Amino acid sequence: MMRKKGLGMNRRQFLTNFSPCSTEASLGAKYFTNAVFRTHENKEVRFYDDLIKGKHVVINFMYANCQGTCPRITANLAKAQEALKNRVGRDIFMYSITIKPEEDNPSTLREYAKMHRAQPGWLFLTADPYDIATVRSRMTNWSHPGIDLDATQHTGMIRVLNDSINRWFGCSGLASLETIVQVIKWCEPIKPLDVRIRENAIAQAKIDQMEMLPTWLGSLGDS
């Protein structure tokens, strides 16, 4: 079978090629709900208005007495928070939501946060079971009843979104630290074109000197 000329992908030039992109408005409280949640600091918050609206957020689902992947994922998120330094709580916000609110009250979540050395900018949240199930479904829906009706299926995923530009990404909570941080950064607002051209030109120059392309390209644009 012959390949049409010009249709092949040149992976060594993809960083300097641009195509128009657009972002839609936020999905808003009607989608995310504005249900009342309570933090591990025992503060009442509205899910959309206080936690999501206009923000760049990292969300995962967990429960305090989990003996499976939850502790490992929480530990990975703690490392990500450390890697992001003072950005968490300033322009990135982290939320861990219990899927067992009947067990995890604010006091329990506070101890869990303390055990994992969570720093400011990272909230552990509980709410009415119905509201948690609604948020969980809308944040991690796989459109598969066998998965979506089983809350434990959603504890392994990290969801990243930037409400200001309606950009969503996700990855496994057991991914490498480099992967988790990179996925979080993918939700950053789009930089001005001249900045992207300059950063991508730096990255392109580095790629041109490589015999093998790297797995992640996030740091290649650094001067």
Residue 173 token pair: 């909570």
Asked if residue 220 belongs to a domain, the reply is no
Asked if residue 94 belongs to a domain, the reply is yes
Q: What pLDDT score does 215 carry?
A: 58
Asked if residue 179 belongs to a domain, the reply is yes
Identify the H or E element spanning 201. Answer: helix 193-208
- The C-alpha angle with vertex 92 and arms to 91 and 95, in degrees rounded to 5, equals 140
Rounded CA separation 46/42 (Å): 13
Residue 115 token pair: 């055990």
Model-level pTM? 0.77
Q: What pLDDT score does 217 carry?
A: 53
- Which tens digit of pLDDT belongs to each residue from 87-107? 999 999 999 999 999 999 999
Asked if residue 180 belongs to a domain, the reply is yes
Task: List per-block mean pLDDT (blocks of 10 residues) for the chain, which spans 223 residues.
Answer: 47 44 72 96 98 97 92 96 95 96 97 97 97 90 62 76 93 94 90 85 84 60 52
Tell me the longest C-alpha to C-alpha distance in the chain. 65
Asked if residue 63 belongs to a domain, the reply is yes
Asked if residue 213 belongs to a domain, the reply is no
- Residues 39 and 150 sit within 8 Å (Cβ to Cβ): no
Rounded CA separation 10/16 (Å): 11
In the β-sheet with 167-172, what is the strand arrangement from edge to edge? 44-46, 36-39, 122-127, 93-98, 56-62, 157-162, 167-172
Q: What pLDDT score does 222 carry?
A: 54
Rounded CA separation 65/103 (Å): 9
Tokens 């992908």 identify what position? 9
Give the CATH number, domain containing residue 125: 3.40.30.10
- Which tens digit of pLDDT belongs to each residue from 102-112? 999 999 999 99
Residue 130 token pair: 């119905």
Q: What pLDDT score does 95 carry?
A: 98
The total number of structural domains that make up the chain: 1
Identify the H or E element spanning 123. Answer: strand 122-127
Q: What pLDDT score does 16 carry?
A: 43
Asked if residue 142 belongs to a domain, the reply is yes
Asked if residue 141 belongs to a domain, the reply is yes
Domain of 87, in residue numbers: 28-185
- Residues 158 and 171 sit within 8 Å (Cβ to Cβ): yes
